[in-house]
Structure 1
Amino acid sequence: MNVLFIEDDAIESMKLHRTIAKSETKHQITEAKNGEEALAYLQSGKPLPDIILLDLNMPRMNGIEFLRILKADEKLRYLPTVILTTSQNRSDLLECYKVGIAGYLSKPLKYEDYEEMILRFLKYWEVNELVKS
């Protein structure tokens, strides 16, 4: 699975790579540090990701702003997008589902819990029928 990981925190990026290395299936991770960088990648003509894993709290363009642009685009709107955030704000959760996300994951504090959650997330999406670019 090709995953576009949109996250500005280097520690979060290291956690994801460390966790994915433990996965039974190897996944390709492309990273963007913010929504602007992610949009530039998605519009570059490179192969589209199978799924987007998106943080909400980022500089320049936050996750919800990115989502609105993504879901307004005829070509990109069908990419499943899952939020991975520390935000416990119910209005963020509701707004994300209103815009059209495929899931909302809250980052746990303990690494072991994070690892378990990400591995479950990957297993779930591995068995889904994804639109291939």
Structure 2
Amino acid sequence: MSVEEDIKHKVIFLVEDNRADIRLIQEALKNSVVPHKVITVRDGIDAMAYLRREGEYADSPRPDLILLDLNLPRKDGREVLAEIKDDPTLRRIPVVVLTTSRNEDDIHQSYDLHVNCYITKSRNLGELFKIVKGIEEFWLATVTLPDD
């Protein structure tokens, strides 16, 4: 086994419905120094099915970090966040809300629901890349995450 194969890849779980934002976030993470895998779902129902390993997601890896948009179809990000933080098997997974919303109610509600971090997406490409790289560097390279 090579050294590279021996390194555990971090799993970034991206819950985002906007295809353009998905591509941009994946592109921003492309040249990461942290070995990782990005798994994406596009709505809140699939997000919870993935996290609970239901149906087609039965063998899915547990994420090391969740990037969560608030404005999702079928079940919005606020509901997803509440369910994650209310579930003892999921609540330790760090959740970063990454959304276009600058609404103070959304910010307060997210922190009331125990989000780990709330970041407003920039529509400026360079700024968005800088934000995503900062998330990656902090959450995957700097902090110590639980292994459960």
How far did residue 120 of structure 1 move? 1.1
Look up the SS of the partner of 2:89 in the other structure. coil
How many residue pairs get aligned? The number is: 133
Cα distance in structure 1, aligned partners of 2:145 and 2:19: 28
Look up the SS of the partner of 1:91 in the other structure. helix
Cα distance in structure 2, aligned partners of 1:36 and 1:120: 28
Please, which of 132, 136, 142 is the counterpart of residue 118 of structure 1? 132
Give the residue type in structure 1 aligned to 2:71: N
CA contact 2:11–2:61 (8 Å) conserved in 1: no
How far did residue 25 of structure 1 move? 2.4
Unpaired segments of 5 or more residues in structure 2?
1-9
Aligned to 2:105: 91
Residues 46-74 of structure 1: CA distance to partner in whole angstroms, max 9, x if unpaired? 32100100000111111101111111111
Give the residue type in structure 2 aligned to 1:106: T
How far did residue 27 of structure 1 move? 1.7
Aligned to 1:26: 35
CA contact 1:20–1:26 (8 Å) conserved in 2: no
Please, which of 102, 122, 125 is the counterpart of residue 116 of structure 2? 102
Cα distance in structure 2, aligned partners of 1:42 and 1:14: 22
**Runs of 4+ displaced beyond 2 Å:** 22-26
Please, which of 9, 15, 23 is the counterpart of residue 6 of structure 1? 15
Task: Give the structure-1-normalised TM-score.
Answer: 0.95
Structure with bigger gyration radius: 2
Task: Give the structure-2-normalised TM-score.
Answer: 0.86
Task: Answer with 20-29 or 61-70: which moved more.
Answer: 20-29
